[in-house]
Amino acid sequence: MNRRSSTELAGSTGLGAWAAFGVLTMVVVGAHGAPLFLDDALLRWSLGHRPAVAVAMARGLTATGTGVVPYALVAVAALVAGRTARQRLVAALLGAVCLGAGQAARYGVMELVARARPPLPDWRTHASGWAYPSGHSTTAALTAGLVILAVLVRAPRGRTPICLAVGCWGVLVGLTRVHLGVHWFTDVLGGWLFAVGWLGICLCAAAWWLPARLVTGPADSNGPTGSASSYSDLDSDSDSDSTGASREEHASQDPGRRGRSRPA
């Protein structure tokens, strides 16, 4: 897939996800924050399936969806994606900007919608702020998308299991928010849609504006420069061959008797 196709795919995916997010947001606002779709059913199921071990595992997993862990994973993804020190630095900066700006934009939407969380007695972990869209779900989905992109770009073998594992981690972090009772399911769904839309727009912008040399790296000796020199050598050889051929053709008309007159 060439650069233009990648840009169009990322842009269309991002716009589609944000269109769905916009529709869901209007439904949430229109219902004045009341539970939607499967919100009540999934919360009731969570209340009935909370053994101590499951709660402890959910708390441990949900903790990886915030704080320093997502940024550390993005930094590792930058090391994987880059071939040179410059590429790794640029990838790390772009990944951190994408993640940080996405979190800030998500926070702005959360303040505008101002949706209340599920009832406090149902909580099994600490939470703060409004509910929609889920911050942990958004951050984990953005991080998973950046790591998967890095793996797809650089990993030659075994990338499918790695991508599946990272994708499952991003999904499970969001589901733990429902299991621990601090978010409605539509909060998590909104976080996923927002993350996909934000990531798609960021990738589209990077593919459109980022110089190609930061992606492909400097030309090596076998690259275009080497090819050009090879073509020059070939042209020189061709010129020599053609000149030699002309001389041989001319010599055939005077077969080695230069300086002597032909017999009558």
Q: Which of 23-27, 131-135, 216-220 has the lowest mean pLDDT?
A: 216-220
Query: Domains, the chain, ranges and CATH?
Result: 3-214 (1.20.144)
* Mean pLDDT computed over every residue of the chain: 82
User: What phi and psi values does residue 225 have, to the nearest 5 degrees?
Assistant: -65, -45
On the question of pLDDT at 226 being above 80, the answer is no
Helix (H) / strand (E) containing 231: helix 224-253
Kindly state the tokens that stand for 97: 């900007």
Q: How far is CA 67 from CA 64, 89, 122, 144, 165, in A?
A: 7, 21, 24, 15, 20
On the question of pLDDT at 236 being above 80, the answer is no
- Provide the pLDDT confidence category of residue 94 given band limits of 50, 70 and 90: very high
Q: What is the DSSP string of 38-101?
A: THHHHHHHHHHS--HHHHHHHHHHHHTTSTHHHHHHHHHHHHHH-SSHHHHHHHHHHHHHHHHH
On the question of pLDDT at 28 being above 90, the answer is yes
